[in-house]
Amino acid sequence: MIRMAFSAERLAAGRIILDAAEAHYLGPVMRLQSGEAIEALVEGLGLFRAVLAQDGRVLTVKESIAKVESRLMEITLCPALIKHDLLAEVVEKGTEVGIRAFEPWVSERSVVRSVSENKWLRWRAIAKEASEQSRRNHLPEFFSLKDGAEGLALAPDQLGIVWDPNGMALRDWWHDFFFDRSVKTVTGPEGGISPAEREVLLAQGFSPVRLGPQIYRAENAGVFGALLLQFLASGSHG
């Protein structure tokens, strides 16, 4: 069944009014007929069965679908800003592997120092499309840009990892009781995290952990790490 994501504001009186692009996608592209249903993911409210009206421009929201997204680990990824909008790839692939929130930050070694409003909108659109494609039941959250490692504080009872090629092995850090914990992970820019930033993060409770013997590109490390954490959590959960 087709799945589409909508903001909560779009749902009114049990209906969602489709814009032109959405109506075109469901009609001419996917050839959905009136009376047929899709899965409507309404941000913050849940997943619903929604039926296309005869005019092809309205979805009538029916019953809630009793599905809950697997919550193995609630992962927040804090990627340092990197060049060429490669964070768009991080958002896309990170959403697919189940990252629950993105919290970008400006590192001492970041070449890019700010995020435009258009880029935030682009990242959210990418996350929406990736959520639909990977059939997630929640859209990832985006936190505001943090200036420096000091802004990446851990919440109470939250685990912290800074992905560090000189850190401890992931298998040595991992414990089975971590599987249902919230974890915040940090990646650096192209030049890596500075020694001073590393000390700040460690003082805040982050653990330096390495993914393996290789050095991964800045846009890959956080996604690879999230995938490994979910894998470890699935084994503990089972």
d(CA 176, CA 238): 11
- Tens digits of residue pLDDT in 38-80: 999 998 888 999 999 989 999 999 999 855 565 568 999 999 9
Query: Are 28 and 63 spatial neighbours (Cβ–Cβ below 8 Å)?
Result: no
With residue 21 as reference, give the H or E element that holds it.
Answer: helix 20-24
Task: Return the percentage of the chain with pLDDT > 70, whole number.
Answer: 96
Question: Which has the higher per-residue pLDDT, 70 or 105?
Answer: 105
Q: How many CA atoms lie within 13 A of 120 on its CB side?
A: 11
Residue type, 237: H
Q: How many CA atoms lie within 13 A of 36 on its CB side?
A: 12
Band (32; pLDDT cuts 50, 70, 90): very high
Band (179; pLDDT cuts 50, 70, 90): confident
d(CA 48, CA 124): 21
105 pLDDT more than 80:
yes
The domain ranges of the chain are: 3-64, 74-237
CATH class of the domain comprising 3-64: mainly beta
pTM recorded for the entire structure? 0.85
Residue type, 222: G
Token pair listed for 212:
């393996």
Query: Are 33 and 161 spatial neighbours (Cβ–Cβ below 8 Å)?
Result: no
* Segment 211-236 mean pLDDT: 91
Which residue's entry shows tokens 């030049």?
191
Q: What architecture is domain 74-237?
A: 3-Layer(aba) Sandwich (3.40)
Query: Are 179 and 229 spatial neighbours (Cβ–Cβ below 8 Å)?
Result: no
Residue 155 CA from chain centroid, whole number: 18
Token pair listed for 237:
């959960």
pLDDT at 181: 82
Q: What is the pairing mode between strands 11-12 and 105-106?
A: unpaired
> 78-82, 125-129, 230-234: lowest mean pLDDT where?
230-234
- Tens digits of residue pLDDT in 193-222: 999 999 999 999 999 999 988 899 999 999
pLDDT at 71: 57
